Structure 1
């Protein structure tokens, strides 16, 4: 760990792997270090829990027609479901299924919420998304639920201006063998001999000299440049010390982009208990109990006898705090309402996520707080280079101006940070 590197990349998620692979292919002496015992970060396909691939983190190839990872999946022969919408085929209302008129009214309300928030941002208003909600709508709980799934945050903590900056083609393709597996395969194809060290957290970054020194429990690494591809929460909570201290403008930016909560509950059954086609989407909303939060499911994903429930915002964070059993009970109760109590006996195994409780990550994905949307731009390579002497750059989904919260956004920022370093190295050599 005492060697001198051209570049050290901190974090081996989608951004860090992309940055490291590009630098390695360019012949740069680069090392990627990762605090966790595995690589991938929030791109994590789990095959150990059930013997079936399912994504604990990112899952959909968002904006698929312009998503470079979709093109990579084609090249690698990794299949996905080309479906233009995640809209539920059906909605269960606690004791019955919504009829066709209700289902259309529900999605009109949800789409209306998305449109109202987007329109406010398009008009330049940086206000809370909650100010755009139709409080009289009978489907308000589902509208709020879907907004939390999109942003990982409660509407009161969502900037309309930031929301409107997101670029979306409405093409969301689930990856059959897992998005996490795709991210790993892309990095392995690009740079199979990439130098990666896991279980190696960075405790401090000293950028006071001509280069950068990164202190870890396994020694100090020195490099000419560092790319920090870590979640905003890691920096905001001070898990990495900076010498000199992080510039105030960047401190403010990291604080303005907290990670919200987006969690999953996965249930494996011993057979198909739903009688639904592969990869069927179902929403639930209990009209009998106004205090009960909605949950939506992917049923029989790619034909596997499973249900994967999605939770967002405060409800997700609260259930994680309550524990895995509470999460499973919450999800199973909704499934029992819709498909009958007999399915309880068919549960073979369960698994839950806990991204908000993971000290190395601390949440799902970033969303700017109301009034603070412009601060995201401070994390761009050019802005950070100016603030930190050109020696330290940041990458990750939060750095992306228009594809934040996505794996492809993280991937592209990793490439951009690597390109910025390559340009600096070439300029120094000229």
Structure 2
């Protein structure tokens, strides 16, 4: 695995100036080590499919490290950042219009007028045209959105009656020689000394798990877990839950990925607004792309630019 990882990373570094899909880096599609490395980098790392993901973009994106789990949940971090800020929930935005000297945002709770508007919704929402931009978006912005579709990354979280034996808290488990490229899963075992096993799935398979009935998703994850372990050693499943990022209209996916030959789409989207309407969020991040941290940094940078002209 380590040797295959070094070889794939070498090939990623050698891509350019043209681009190539990540799947093209597989010298032998039947080599489970290479398949597992590529699928972990792409499907399980970026939520996309190796056949359509930019190798050049992933290489330039680099690693999101440090990328830590949060025992209380990532939502607690977001909540902590909102201290002192008025936050209104359950309010859908349907239209954004630039006016002379400001903007008008049409919402389900009435119109909001402001000097500037920062748009941080996912590219899945933007591509679905759930929000209308009154004056339209420029072709460069539309092209950037076309190059940055949403990847699919979902989890089946399973709670057992006791921790899995033989694992340290937070250990990772993979299928090894039984790895199925089209059904790539990775298991996080006993995080924070809990009784949880979390199955992570990305790309088309991640989207499939999110869309199927919860019991079917649970059965898929349990089947692969038992294949990996051979036996659960008497552990009993208590309950499970599957994330719905792919089917939730507020997201339409996990996070944005760069298509092959997508070029500087992230930068283009970041600069694709107007002097009053600005785009930010993880899809526009260069550092820590596809992370909450990257989204936060783009918001701070955008706010600082706005502040400089006020």
Normalization by structure 2: what TM-score? 0.92
Asked if 1:376 corresponds to 2:270, the answer is no
1:420 to 285, 305, 308: 305
Cα separation, 2, equivalents of 1:344 and 1:316:
28
Partner in structure 1 of residue 33 of structure 2: 139
Matched position secondary structure for 1:205: strand
Residue equivalent to 1:322: 212
Q: CA deviation at 1:391?
A: 0.4
Query: Helix, strand or coil for the counterpart of 2:174?
Result: strand
- Establish whether residue 366 from structure 1 lines up as the match of residue 251 from structure 2: no
Check 1:294–1:400 CA distance in 2 against 1; reply closer, same or farther (3 A cut): closer
Establish whether residue 109 from structure 1 lines up as the match of residue 1 from structure 2.
Answer: no
Match of 2:197, SS state, is: strand
Runs of at least 5 residues in structure 2 that lack an aligned partner in the other structure: none
- The residue that corresponds to 2:159 in the other structure is 268
Matching of residue 161 in structure 1 with residue 56 in structure 2:
yes
Tell me, in whole angstroms, the C-alpha distance in 2 between the residues paired with 1:196 and 1:169: 28
CA distance in 1, matches of 2:92, 2:6: 42
After superposition, what is the alpha-carbon deviation per residue over 1:282-331, rounded to whole angstroms, capped at 9, x for unaligned? 111463x8677231111010100110111011111122222222211111
Task: Please tell me whether the aligned partners of residues 157 and 370 of structure 1 are also in contact (alpha carbons under 8 angstroms).
Answer: yes
CA–CA separation in structure 2 for the residues paired with 1:286 and 1:294: 12
SS in 2 for 1:207: strand
Asked whether 1:407 is paired with 2:301, we answer no
Distance 1:291 1:163 in 2: 19
Change (3 A) 1:220 1:128: same
Q: 312-321 vs 343-352, which deviates more?
A: 343-352
The aligned counterpart of 1:178 is 73
CA distance in 1, matches of 2:136, 2:245: 28
CA 1:384–1:199: 2 relative to 1, 3 Å: same
TM score, norm. by length of structure 1? 0.67
Question: Which structure 1 residue ranges, 5 or more long, are not aligned?
Answer: 1-105, 426-430
| TM-aligned CA deviation for residue 257 of structure 1 | 0.5
Q: Which moved more, 1:226-235 or 1:370-379?
A: 370-379
Alpha-carbon distance in structure 1 between the residues aligned to 2:186 and 2:198? 8
Match of 2:22 among 121, 129, 134: 129
